[in-house]
Amino acid sequence: MAQVIADITVSLDGFVTGPDAGPGNGLGTGGEPLHRWVFSDDPGDQRILAAATARSGAVVMGRRLFDVIDAPDGWSDELGYGATEVGKPPFVVVTSAAPEEVRLTGLDWTFVTTGLSDAIAVAREGAESQSEAKGSALDVVLMGGGALVGSAVAAGLVDALVLHISPVILGAGTPLFVDEPRRTLTQREVVVTSTATHLTYDLD
């Protein structure tokens, strides 16, 4: 069965965006340094980014993140999940209602209106189908936003948590965890690069 991996970048003070994030301001005010590692020339950053894309059998996101991505200044052929890789995974969006239209029609979108657990189940089916087609084990990747990842961890829907800690203090913005239940994680891997500290935890 495909594993569920939550993978997200966060500031030193626990924010995944700066203040006022939304379409046209995806990372929020002052949030651009969060993703400096994604565009880094550091071989460690490049390896981690390539590995994350390669393992993605399906990707889950929330509606707010979808609206940022699908906005006119959002993803393009040059900028986006897997934009520089061969092939792109199916995307599953958790939403109360599907959008009337989608700009990024070249990607495989599924809109699930019955909750996060159902969205992950749909994504798992997609990831397992991709695994069979490619002959390698692929994962379900939760890419955000912060509320979706936090909710999935709290609900016990995540097998592993990958955090990319950016060396920036934002002071405000979208927090990753809010009033989550106490739990202890098992640290599996730490990779330090020139632009970030990449942490992988198993969730018991």
Q: How many helices (H) and strands (E) does the chain have?
A: 4, 10
Residue 109 has pLDDT above 90, yes or no: yes
Q: What is the pTM of this model?
A: 0.91
Question: Which tokens in the block code for residue 56?
Answer: 């993605």
| DSSP state letters, 23-34 | TTBTT-TT-GGG
Segment 48-61 mean pLDDT: 91
pLDDT at 161 (0 to 100): 97
pLDDT tens-place string over residues 60-98: 999 999 999 999 988 887 777 654 554 578 999 999 999
Residue 140 has, within 13 A of its CA and on its CB side, a CA count of: 27
Segment 141-167 mean pLDDT: 94
pLDDT at 75 (0 to 100): 87
CB atoms within 10 A of CB 127: 29
- β-pair partners for 164: 9, 198
pLDDT at 84 (0 to 100): 53
- 20-202: CATH homologous superfamily? Dihydrofolate Reductase, subunit A (3.40.430.10)
Query: Is residue 95 within 8 Å of 111, Cβ to Cβ?
Result: yes
pLDDT at 82 (0 to 100): 55
Confidence at 159, pLDDT banded by 50, 70, 90: very high
| DSSP state letters, 37-68 | GGG---HHHHHHHHHHHHTEEEEEEEHHHHHH
pLDDT tens-place string over residues 176-195: 998 878 888 999 999 999 99
Instruction: Calculate what percentage of the chain has a pLDDT beyond 90.
Output: 70
pLDDT at 179 (0 to 100): 81
| In the chain, where the domains are located | 20-202
The type of residue at 192 is V
Residue 139 has pLDDT above 80, yes or no: yes
Query: Is residue 99 within 8 Å of 70, Cβ to Cβ?
Result: yes
pLDDT at 86 (0 to 100): 45
Strands 139-144 and 4-11 turn out to be parallel
Question: Coil, helix or strand for 174?
Answer: strand
- β-pair partners for 17: 174
pLDDT at 116 (0 to 100): 96
Query: Is residue 194 within 8 Å of 37, Cβ to Cβ?
Result: no
pLDDT at 87 (0 to 100): 57
What are the φ and ψ backbone dihedral angles of 161, each rounded to 5 degrees? -120, 120
pLDDT at 93 (0 to 100): 97
